[in-house]
């Protein structure tokens, strides 16, 4: 057995060798650790630099997008006609959204604004969801009770439906401002903007029934201090209640059907064609060498001109009246005699029937004046002209 002291001395050379190895390994470990730390620090620096570069790009893109958005908002404000540069950006966007909403609501509807002036003659077409109607101002009177004015209007209904209730929504005011040469009539013009601010809104519901194929007079009340505030009246017509008249929508009054015209009647008759319904009034009947000349006024409520048309049908004496007959048999006998006296005729119209207005024309019917008191005829449109997209008239052949 070896003494402890001898055992320790025998192991000393080995321990010394291990210590030398550890001492020699320590610098290497420190070097490796430092290299690892340097490598990790380099990766973090690169990542930080990369993130900062991305943030700078995002900030730059955001600034460009905000600047572009601001420019687009200003452009949209100019187009819509609203301006609120003093308000916050959110307020301006809110105002713009509201204006665009109104424009979308208006454009989604077929109800267009009509402009009327008291001193202008003739009628103006007004587009609604139920078709085109004709409207004109007959006059206006001071209403002492309402502290305003009673405006007398007349609406012509060329549709085969009876409008039982509708509302007129618009505004009124003085005449449009005089613009200098080269000035545009647009919402961007300060003069137009100032003029629009002076207009006063109104809304009036009408319960008078607009009968099919007839002119209907009615009155509306508008609050105005003087007549100068009624130099211009504009409104949309909102049809709220309408009923299709089956008597006109079916049977003899279909497109291309025959119309019955009383020559001595001051009322307008309706001639339905493949191009729509037209109005006709016989203004005068005069004897000529070839028969009887009928001076006509033809109302065209459409956006095309009729270059040539033809009347085809029968003519004869005045239609017997039931109340003048002694009995039903007597009336039936008179009707048979009247029908036997009807004679065919055909008359060509080469006078241009202009769009959106009344046009004068004449036809010759081969009969004496007393024998031309009634017409059973149809209007055959043979040639029309539509305005071309370029503004140059383009001819459309008849069907």
The domains of the chain, with CATH numbers, are 114-175+189-245 (2.60.40.1620), 250-397 (2.60.40.1620)
Quick one: pLDDT at residue 85? 52
Which two three-digit tokens encode residue 247? Answer: 């008597």
Spatial CB neighbours of 9, under 8 Å, sequence gap ≥ 6: none
Closest CA to 215 of 278, 283, 132, 133: 133
Structure confidence at residue 188 (pLDDT) = 76
User: Which tens digits make up the pLDDT trace of 284-294?
Assistant: 999 999 999 99
pLDDT at 359 over 60: yes
- Residue 160 burial class via C-beta count within 10 angstroms: exposed 0-12, middle 13-18, buried 19 and up: buried
pLDDT in tens, 101-135: 555 444 445 678 888 888 777 778 888 888 888 89
Instruction: Give the pLDDT confidence score for residue 158 in this predicted structure.
Output: 80
Q: Which residues lie below 8 Å from residue 207, measured CB to CB, with a gap of 6+?
A: 164, 165
Q: 331 or 306, which is more confident?
A: 306
pTM above 0.75, yes or no: no
Nearest to 155 by CA among 177, 126, 189, 120: 126
pLDDT at position 99, please?
A: 58
Q: What is the pLDDT of residue 392?
A: 47
What pLDDT shows up at residue 89? 61
Give the chain's mean pLDDT: 77
Residue 197 clears pLDDT 80, i.e. is over it: yes
pLDDT at position 53 over 80: no
* Choice between 104 and 237, residue whose per-residue pLDDT is larger: 237
User: What per-residue confidence (pLDDT) applies to 368?
Assistant: 92
Cα-to-chain-centroid distance, residue 86: 33
DSSP assignment string, 124-154: EEEEETTEEEEEEEEEEEEETTTTEEEEEEE
What average pLDDT does this structure show over 42-53? Answer: 70
Residue 187 or 268, more confident: 268
């Amino acid at each position: 057995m070896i003494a402890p002291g001898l055992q320790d001395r025998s192991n000393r050379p080995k321990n010394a060798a291990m210590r030398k190895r550890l001492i020699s390994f320590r610098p290497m470990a420190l070097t490796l650790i430092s290299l690892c730390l340097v490598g990790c620090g380099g990766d973090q620096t690169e990542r930080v630099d990369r993130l900062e570069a991305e943030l700078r790009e995002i900030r730059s893109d955001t600034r460009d997008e905000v600047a572009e958005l601001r420019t687009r908002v200003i452009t949209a404000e100019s187009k819509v006609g609203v301006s609120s540069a003093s308000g916050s950006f959110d307020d301006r966007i809110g105002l713009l959204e509201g204006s665009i909403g109104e424009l979308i609501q208006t454009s989604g509807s077929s109800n267009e604004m009509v402009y009327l002036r008291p001193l202008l003659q003739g009628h103006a077409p007004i587009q609604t969801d139920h078709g085109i109607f004709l409207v004109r101002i007959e006059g206006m009177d001071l209403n002492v009770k309402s502290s305003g004015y009673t405006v007398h209007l007349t609406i012509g209904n060329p549709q085969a439906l009876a409008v039982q209730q509708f509302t007129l929504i618009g505004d009124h005011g003085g005449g449009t401002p005089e613009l200098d040469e080269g000035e545009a009539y647009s919402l961007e013009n300060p003069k137009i903007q100032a003029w629009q601010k002076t207009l006063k809104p109104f809304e009036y519901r009408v319960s008078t029934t607009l009968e099919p194929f007839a002119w209907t007079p009615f009155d509306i009340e508008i609050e105005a201090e003087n007549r100068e505030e009624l130099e211009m009246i504009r409104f949309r017509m909102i049809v709220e209640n309408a009923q299709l008249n089956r008597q006109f929508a079916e049977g003899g009054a279909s497109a291309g059907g025959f119309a019955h015209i009383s020559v001595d009647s001051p009322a307008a008759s309706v001639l339905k064609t493949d191009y729509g319904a037209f109005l006709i009034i016989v203004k005068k009947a005069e004897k000529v060498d070839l028969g009887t000349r009928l001076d006509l006024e033809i109302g065209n409520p459409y956006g095309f001109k009729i270059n040539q048309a033809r009347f085809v049908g029968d003519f004869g004496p005045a239609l017997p009246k039931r109340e003048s007959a002694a009995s039903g048999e007597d009336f039936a006998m008179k009707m048979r005699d009247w029908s036997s006296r009807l004679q065919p005729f055909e008359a060509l119209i080469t006078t241009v029937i202009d769009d959106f207005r009344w046009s004068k024309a004449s036809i010759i019917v081969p009969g004496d004046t007393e024998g031309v008191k009634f017409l059973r005829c149809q209007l055959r449109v043979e040639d029309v002209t539509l305005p071309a997209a370029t503004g140059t008239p383009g001819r459309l052949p008849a069907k």
